[in-house]
Structure 1
Amino acid sequence: MLLETFRGEAEEGINNISNALLELEKDLLPEKKMQLIEATFRDFHSLKGAARSVNLPNIEKICQAAESVFSGLKKKELEISPQLIDLIVISINGIRELLNSNSSEQDSILEKRTIEIAESLEQAANGIYKAAVKVKTPEFAIPQEKPIASDTTIRIPVATIDSLMAQIEELRTIKYSGKDLTNEIKKISFEMSLLRKDIFKYKEKVRDRRSLNTNTFDKSDDNELIISSEISEFFEKINSHLKSLENNVNVINASSVRNYHYASTQIDIVTQNMKMLIMMPYSTLLQNIPMLVRDLSREQGKDVELIITGAIIETDRRILNELKDPLIHIIRNCIDHGIEIPEIRKKKNKSPKAKINISISQLNSTTAEILITDDGSGIDLKNLRKKVKNFQNNSDAEDGNLTDKELMPYVFHSGISTKNVVSEISGRGLGLAIVREKVERLGGSVFVDSKQNFGTVFKINIPFDLASFHGVEIVVSGQSFLIPTTYVERVMKISNDKILSLKNRQAIDVDGQAVSLVKLSDTLGINKTNLNPEEKNVQSIIILQTTESRVAFLVDNIIGEQEVLIKSLGNQLHSVRNILGATVLGNGKTILVLSVPDLLSSAEKQSFSSWTIPIETSNKQISKKKLNILIAEDSITSRMMLKNILESAGYNVTATVDGLNAYETLASGGFDLVVSDVDMPRMSGFTLTEKIRGDSRFSEIPVILVTSLESKEDRERGIDVGASAYVIKRSFDQSNLLEIIKKII
């Protein structure tokens, strides 16, 4: 227990030292620099004493030597230099390696490294720099919160919390069952009500007939009158019993609804409170990234500044653990593939210091968006096109039939890399494939956009927690399945005459594009029912989409969306093709959850390759002009985000850096809409809108202002200058923006 406490304290101390080293490399005021030196000196001193307490002499030895270095810096006997910082970085990596080592077989190797690091530090304290043994930067883990010593707190192992969370998540199954049960009781009550009405109708018919027979009395009809009377009495009894049963069912239903709402509320409260224990800010994931960027950029002779925003947003700790590798792979790609060395950047009229931005924001109530952007050379699309052709024998790629947008997702394909030389960091074509696999396994999605010599943007949409899961229930060949909602682009019904035949394949028209149509029963390889889909006049379609594929699947029926708790199939069925897991619906029915990436891959292997092409046929011409949108935005992150949203919605987009640039670009003609920021250099969005409205060439073009300025005065000014819509960035929602655009143009 004492050793675990030390590990937590040591990790916190190392993080403090790492952050201080990054600051010391900057051009600081002397007072600030001395404060950091003093703080780092104390961190090494505290770490040395703690290591002595738990009998870790190797860590104590390194801290003692590092303490000597910072003592010299305090006395101004030494000067901060890149070489000295490199040495301190090697020393803290050595401490991390000692902390993570549990193998006695490595004791001799670690002992030797410790001696070399300590000797290098002692010599540095005397002004002599000797190359220390290089220690590989350890893989970092999500740090745990340091326990607070207080009578009001207790320490609980993370494994215990995870186990409790798993059990509490099981309660959601009871919640879903309760909802279905109340719905079933309502149905029974409704059906009983209908039955009573039918009985009343027959009772009236019998009474009318008996009345008629009484008026035309005949002895031969005496028996019929007796029977009619008995039937009438029988109906009366049934009706009375049914009414009593219906009242009882209504009482049970009311009680069931009350119990459901109470249990549902309590389960939600307990789940939410439990989530608070496992929710951690993204800063815990990102706190080691600055040192990673620093080490990688120095190794490659590059100068990179890392900017992080939105790190206070919290998410499930389990998600942070899984995002560690994807984030590292993307950062490595940015530095190794995208960022140029300072000399080349100068020739391109760029700042010698490159920038990598990591921005976390809340996309909606269930999803976070992570944007990772760099201002490097961008993805070499020409080289990517060639690699795709060579790897998959894809003639469309080489012939240019694939647009840049269609080509881009291939960077996530295993085995494809735009780098011709394989290095220790990248070039094998595995990194981004791992990124996509891990993100999609979490129920998220990842996209990339790039512009030559301007940079690259990676966008990751990821849920806040793993507890809730939404899926669309479908029926295929009489069997029910669930498809994760995050992959569902849309569901639709189409008549048979709307199904096209292109390139000897079936397809449907989706917004002027032909999307391949596949029978899901064929992809799953399950037996078909007697019902022939061709005999139905209207077909049920569900369109699924990942970063690199889009396919329309034909199903028997689409039931609706369900909120469920997904379960794995166990270790024995760890990886079943096309199956992600299983779930139990509220009615007790167990159904399989389908893996969409596997489905699309299976469709391709069965020669139902996913493809989307413009519809151009001799007997059916569907032509929808792509509308052209001009963006004016000075922030590269916001600019590329808007561009990606609008291009994904099917628009042609031209991006400019400010109002003046946008106004000059308008002269080229052909734009249907302008989307502009307000607060920009050279020309604001207000001024741009005024100039557009005052120029007869452009006065009819709609203008949407997307800005963080939300005061009443700013809104009124936007309307006064002629803006067609005024969208606040703080409450920005991409679906809302797209809806506004559709209404305007």
Structure 2
Amino acid sequence: MEMTQYLNVFMDEVQEHLQTLNTSLLALENNPADSSLLEAIFRAAHTLKGASATMGFNKMSNITHAMEDLLTRLRNGEIAVSSEIINVLFECFDLLDALAQGIAAGHEEDIEAAGLLTQLRMLASAGKKEVTITAARSVKHEIKPEYNRDEKALIEESISNGRILYHVSVKLREDCLLKGARAFMVLRELEKLGQVVRTWPLTKDLEDENFDDHFIIGVLSVENTEKVKSPVASITDVEIVAVEHIDLAGLPLSQSEEGTKETVRGTGVIRSGAVPRAVTSPTVRVEIKKLDDLMNIVAELVIQRSQLEQLSEALESKRLNEVVEHFSRLTVDLRDRVLRARMVQVDSVFSRFPRLVRDLSRDLSKEISLEIVGGDTELDRTVIDHIGDPLMHLIRNAVDHGIESPSERLQAGKPQEGRLTLRAYQESNTVVIVIEDDGRGYNLERLRQKAVDGGFVTEEESRRYTDEELIELVFIPGLSTAQQVTDVSGRGVGMDVVKNAIEGLGGVISIKSEYGVGTAVQVRLPLTLAIIQTMLVRSGDETYAIPTSYIEQTISVGSREVQNFRGQEVVNIRGDILPLLRLNRLVDTPVSSAPESPELDAIIIKIGEHRVLLVVDQLIRQQDIVIRPLGGYLGKIEGIAGGTVLGDGSIALVLDMRVVA
């Protein structure tokens, strides 16, 4: 295997382990007592260390080695997870990600890592008194906390009211002379913070000093782990304190109660010791270029299939028709299988955003929860590779300008914590991605005035705009509604760039917003860019292809139904007045000398919230096509997205409906 091939395999592994680091760190921040997350982070760092050392990338190897030292002490219970450690590990992730990008570009980035290495080593060599519950239990007599049914009922009710169940494990110094008094002091401090449910051993045994130097207290509190731990750790003769968050799924019942134990849904985090075996199927890594080459061959087969179908119709041979039909089915099956092989889950992009929202909300002093739905929805790899930046800008916009500060939200009668939802789902041959927030929404009057003041529209024009047309103003280059420029977003050069990027992928973006309630941005993308489904239409003697992703419906319209309103032809379609466009005028094809038919073939075109009725000379049929770029002068014609070869060998131009309509 050549070095380039080794490097490709290495980079694939790096990206997988970096994604594991990112998602596991985010989860560990919310569940610091979850040992399975520490294991996942340790394994990722350990694997990266070995792989980078083998490839000779010393900076990456040194960082992951120092991470491994710190993580080893965390796993062994010698130090406890803290916000400082989480932040430093996130800095490590950022550095490793930057190094990976540099390696992919052909060089290891010259990034200063000495300061971060020093931080890692200082944390790894910190005092050894802080240990996790695992180390605290390694004393003379192991204690196994258990609850009865009445205690369990109390705990369930308290947790439903927002309290957290902690097991506070305390080890006193071996030379402590007043063990009962120290245990009483610990109980008193914990009672200030919440409700003590039970002690192990029992309270009477603690008072009588009928225990060795170790005991555990179960306490219900609304405070975080650090606030529970701190007052106990400050008590004289307390040598070790460990605080463990216990969820209902892991609530230990006494043996007599075990038979009545109910199945309780956990928090979604799989704990160590309860990890289900995943059913995996054999996989093999394939370079994307090989899939591209395979798709190009399939594309040629699609063209040949169309030509065979045309030839079969002309020859009128029953046997040939049967062979062609079978060949067509095989071609469609092959096309679908190759397309599926190119598909990647959108979660590969979405997984970047929890960290982004976390960091931005902290920088902006906002409280924001991010919910991701439909991460397993699949898109073509080519689309995935280009959609990340536009989505990132939309999320930055929502966090910076959409969601209000906690004080503003409280004044508006909203929950203090803002909600941001990122949702993906497949609809026909497109994938829809929605970024929705419950923030302040767009002030359409203010947006209209900004557009007028900036000279983008006249006062008279703006007054005629519908709400849907006003919201479209945000896509005008240079128009910004931000009251102040920030480092996050709002420089007036964003939404037009986002729109161009999405439309460059054959997609459509639209916005729905209600002032004071929130905003939803919808991005609709084709499943693949390689082969698309179109409607073939005729205008004069020419054939054109219209992507079905823009088609809402094909209908027949009576010529008498066409009205004229202020110089624009319109038609009333089920109560909606739609502007009528004639394709022969748009593409400048000769008008037929024959009298106009009483029934017109038409297509309702929908681009975002914008709908028009497009009249054509003839609706031919739906057909899968392969778009080929047009070179030279033809490639610069507005409204033409490319060309395709039809079954009879003729060329059909593919219309770019964003321009035409």
Same fold, TM exceeding 0.5? yes
Partner of 1:457: 520
Distance apart, 1:97 and its partner CA? 1.2
Distance in 1 (CA, whole Å) between partners of 2:40 and 2:569 is 69
1:37 deviates by: 2.7
Residue 696 (structure 1) aligns with: none
Q: Which digits, 9 at most, give the CA deviation of each residue in 1:157-179, with x for residues without a partner?
A: 22112111121122111222222
Higher share of residues assigned strand? 2
Q: 2:656 pairs with 590, 595, 604, which one?
A: 595
Residue 164, structure 1, aligned to residue 163, structure 2: no
State the distance in 2 between where 1:152 and 1:398 align: 59
Which residues in structure 2 correspond to 1:403-422 (within 5 Å)? 403-422=466-485
SS in 2 for 1:392: coil
Counting only pairs closer than 5 Å after superposition, residues 237-316 of structure 1 correspond to structure 2 as 253-316=317-380
- Is the 1:409–1:548 Cα contact (8 Å) retained in structure 2? no
Q: How far is 1:590 from its partner?
A: 0.7
Aligned equivalent of 2:629, options 542, 564, 568: 568
Query: Matches of 1:555 and 1:266 in 2, distance apart?
Result: 33
Q: Secondary structure of 1:292's match?
A: helix
Whole-angstrom CA distance in 2 between matches of 1:7 and 1:162: 20
Q: Contact (CA 8 Å) 2:510, 2:609: kept in 1 or not? A: no
* SS in structure 2 of the partner of residue 410 of structure 1: helix
Q: Distance in 2 between matches of 1:591 and 1:426?
A: 42
The code of the aligned residue for 1:528 comes to P
Q: Judging changes above 3 Å, is the alpha-carbon distance between structure 1 residues 36 and 102 closer, same or farther for their aligned structure 2 residues?
A: closer
Match among 5, 12, 15 for residue 16 of structure 2: 12
Residues 627-685 of structure 1 show CA distances to partners (whole Å, capped at 9, x for unaligned) of xxxxxxxxxxxxxxxxxxxxxxxxxxxxxxxxxxxxxxxxxxxxxxxxxxxxxxxxxxx
Distance in 2, matches of 1:427 and 1:170, equals: 45
- State the partner residue of 1:472: 535
Alignment-derived partner of residue 95 in structure 1: 96
Contact 2:357–2:368 at 8 Å: present in 1 too?
yes
Does residue 323 of the first structure (1) align with residue 384 of the second (2)?
no
User: Are 1:531 and 2:593 counterparts?
Assistant: yes
Kindly provide the CA deviation profile for residues 455-480 of structure 1, in whole angstroms up to 9, marking residues without a partner as x.
Answer: 22222333333344232333334322
State the partner residue of 1:374.
437
- 2:112 match: secondary structure: helix
Q: CA deviation at 1:376?
A: 1.7
- Asked whether the 8 Å contact 2:441–2:514 carries over to 1, the reply is yes
In the TM superposition, residue 367 of structure 1 has moved relative to its aligned partner by 3.0
> Given residue 14 of structure 1, which amino acid in structure 2 is its aligned partner?
L
The residue number in structure 1 matching 2:400 is 336
Q: Structure 1 residues 551 and 272 mapped into 2: Cα distance closer, same or farther (>3 Å)?
A: closer
Letter in 1 for 2:47: S
Change (3 A) 1:15 1:102: closer
State the distance in 2 between where 1:39 and 1:499 align.
Answer: 66
* 8 Å contact from structure 1 (residues 481, 594) kept in 2: yes
How many residues of Structure 1 are paired with residues of Structure 2 in the alignment?
A: 504
The unaligned stretches of length 5 or more in structure 2 are: 128-279
| Residue matched to 1:510 | 573
Q: Which amino acid aligns with 2:525?
A: I
- Cα offset for 1:416? 3.1
Distance 2:451 2:553 in 1: 29
Preserved contact between residue 339 and residue 354 of structure 1 (Cα < 8 Å): yes
Q: 2 CA distance for matches of 1:279 and 1:270?
A: 14
Contact 2:49 2:60 (8 Å CA) reproduced: yes
In 1, distance between residues paired with 2:393 and 2:297? Answer: 33
Question: In the TM superposition, what are the counterparts of 1:138-153 in structure 2 within 5 Å?
Answer: none
CA contact (8 A) 2:402 2:518 kept: yes
Structure 1 residues 430-441: aligned runs within 5 Å = 430-441=493-504
**Residue 176 of structure 2: aligned partner:** none
The offset of 1:581, in angstroms, is 0.6
Structure 2 CA distance for aligned equivalents of residues 548 and 414 of structure 1: 20
- Matched residues in 1 for 2:341 and 2:601: separation? 43
Deviation at 1:75, TM superposition (A): 5.5
Partner of 1:446: 509
Match of 1:352 among 408, 416, 426: 416
Report the CA distance between 1:397 and its aligned residue.
Answer: 6.3
- For 2:377 and 2:343, the matched residues in 1 are separated by 10
**For 1:292 and 1:527, how far apart are their aligned partners in 2?**
51
Question: Does the C-alpha gap of structure 1 residues 295 and 402 become closer, same or farther in structure 2, counting only changes over 3 Å?
Answer: same
Report deviation, 1:22: 0.6
How far does residue 513 in structure 1 lie from its aligned partner after superposition?
4.0
Asked whether the equivalents of residues 468 and 609 of structure 2 are also in contact (C-alpha less than 8 Å), the reply is no
Amino acid at match of 2:25: L
* Cα deviations by residue, 1:8-35 (Å, 9 ceiling, x for unpaired): 222222211111211122155x3x1x33
1:118-161 deviations in Å (ceiling 9; x for gaps): 23333444569xxxxxxxxxxxxxxxxxxxxx998654322112
After TM superposition, give the deviation of residue 592 of structure 1 in Å. 0.7
Q: 1:184, CA displacement in angstroms?
A: 2.9
Matched, 1:427 2:490: yes
Q: CA deviation at 1:254?
A: 0.8
Contact 1:409 1:547 in 2 (8 A): no
> Letter of the aligned partner of 2:304 in structure 1?
I
1:137 is aligned to none
571-580 or 447-456, larger mean C-alpha shift: 571-580
Tell me what 1:482 maps to: 545
RMSD of aligned alpha carbons: 3.2
- 2:630 maps to amino acid: L
Bigger drift between 331-340 and 536-545 goes to: 536-545
What letter is aligned with 2:26? L
3-state secondary structure, aligned to 1:25:
helix
SS in 1 for 2:431: strand
1:501 equivalent to 2:586? Answer: no
Partner of 2:6: 2
Distance 1:14 1:262 in 2: 46
Change (3 A) 1:84 1:385: farther
Which secondary structure state, in structure 2, belongs to the residue aligned with residue 368 of structure 1?
strand
In the TM superposition, what is the alpha-carbon distance from 1:573 to its structure 2 partner?
5.3
Q: Aligned-pair distance for 1:266?
A: 1.9
Task: Name the CA shift for 1:500/1:584 in 2 (closer, same or farther; >3 Å).
Answer: same
Q: 1:180 aligns with which of 310, 326, 343?
A: 310
Contact 2:509–2:608 (CA under 8 A) maintained in structure 1: yes
Measure how far apart 1:447 and its partner are.
2.6
**What TM-score comes out, normalization by structure 2 length?**
0.69
CA contact under 8 A between 1:413 and 1:429: conserved in structure 2? no
- Mapped to 2, the partners of 1:320 and 1:514 lie a distance apart of 37
User: The residue matched to 2:488 in structure 1 has which SS?
Assistant: coil
Cα distance, 1:420–1:180 mapped onto 2, change above 3 Å: farther
Letter in 2 for 1:289: F
| Structure 1 letter corresponding to 2:319 | S
Could you tell me which amino acid in structure 1 is paired with residue 399 of structure 2?
Answer: I
Structure whose residues are more often helix by fraction = 1
Query: Given the two structures, how large is their TM-score scaled by the length of structure 1?
Result: 0.62
The alpha-carbon deviation at position 501 of structure 1 amounts to 2.7
Counterpart of 1:459, as a letter, is Q
What is the aligned partner in structure 1 of residue 114 from structure 2? 115
Give, in whole Å, the separation in 1 of the partners of 2:623 and 2:483.
46
Q: Confirm whether residue 59 of structure 1 aligns to residue 189 of structure 2.
A: no
- Mark the structure with the bigger radius of gyration: 1
- The alignment status of 1:583 with 2:644, answered yes or no, reads yes
What is the DSSP-based 3-state SS (H/G/I as helix, E as strand, rest coil) of the residue aligned with 1:386?
helix
Listed one character per residue, the Cα deviations across residues 524-553 of structure 1 (whole Å, up to 9, x for unaligned) are 3x35356387x6655554443312644444
C-alpha spacing 1:424/1:523, structure 2 compared with 1 (3 Å): farther
Q: Is the 8 A contact 2:451 2:457 kept in 1?
A: yes
Structure 1 CA distance for aligned equivalents of residues 103 and 45 of structure 2: 23
1:16-67 deviation digits (Å, cap 9, x = unpaired): 1111211122155x3x1x3323432343233222221111111122223323
Q: For the Cα contact (< 8 Å) 2:584–2:591, is it kept in 1?
A: no
Question: Are the aligned partners of 2:11 and 2:104 in contact in 1 as well (CA < 8 Å)?
Answer: no
Q: What SS class does the counterpart of residue 453 from structure 1 fall into?
A: coil
